[in-house]
Amino acid sequence: MTFTVAYAQGDDGAVCLRLAGELDMSTAPELNAAVDQLIADGHTRLLVDLSELTFCDSTGIAAFVRGDNTAAGLDGWLRLTGATGRVARVLSVTGLAEVLRYDPDADPASHACR
């Protein structure tokens, strides 16, 4: 499955990124580039919808942490929602669910994800 990053700004000013496919060593640079561009454009509140992400390795985890660190340096944040299956398990096992305040019930629609 091809990896894609789509994003849109919500009415509340946060930007929702919707990831689909597999996030790994070969695709993490695409996520990093999207996050970097959004932050350069002044968007520092990012909600990442993982409902269509089927795989995430340590490089993907590092991309999430990197994005949060960059946004936090500008008084923003990167948060995750919608993970299922193996992706949800990786977030739980690595502790990233707590670090990035993972909320499986956050409504991506309220942040223009749908």
Residue-by-residue DSSP string for 11-54: TTS-EEEEEEEEESTTTHHHHHHHHHHHHHTT--EEEEEEEEEE
Which tens digit of pLDDT belongs to each residue from 48-73? Answer: 999 999 999 999 999 999 999 999 99
Residue 16 lies in a domain: yes
The closest alpha carbon to 8, from 38, 53, 30, belongs to: 38
Which tens digit of pLDDT belongs to each residue from 68-90? Answer: 999 999 999 999 999 999 999 99
Residue 94 lies in a domain: yes
**Cα 103 to Cα 107: distance, rounded to the nearest angstrom:** 9
Of residues 106 and 84, more confidently modeled: 84
Domain count, the chain: 1
The CATH code of the domain that includes 60 is 3.30.750.24
Confidence at residue 103, expressed as pLDDT on a 0 to 100 scale: 65
Give the HSE-up count for residue 27: Cα atoms under 13 Å, Cβ half-sphere: 19
Residue 48 lies in a domain: yes
Confidence at residue 104, expressed as pLDDT on a 0 to 100 scale: 64
Residue 39 lies in a domain: no
The closest alpha carbon to 44, from 15, 1, 7, belongs to: 15
Confidence at residue 113, expressed as pLDDT on a 0 to 100 scale: 57
Confidence at residue 13, expressed as pLDDT on a 0 to 100 scale: 82
Domain that holds residue 70: 4-34+44-111
The order of strands in the sheet holding 4-9 is: 4-9, 15-23, 45-56, 77-81
Residue 17 lies in a domain: yes
pLDDT of residue 92 exceeding 80, the answer is yes
Confidence at residue 109, expressed as pLDDT on a 0 to 100 scale: 53
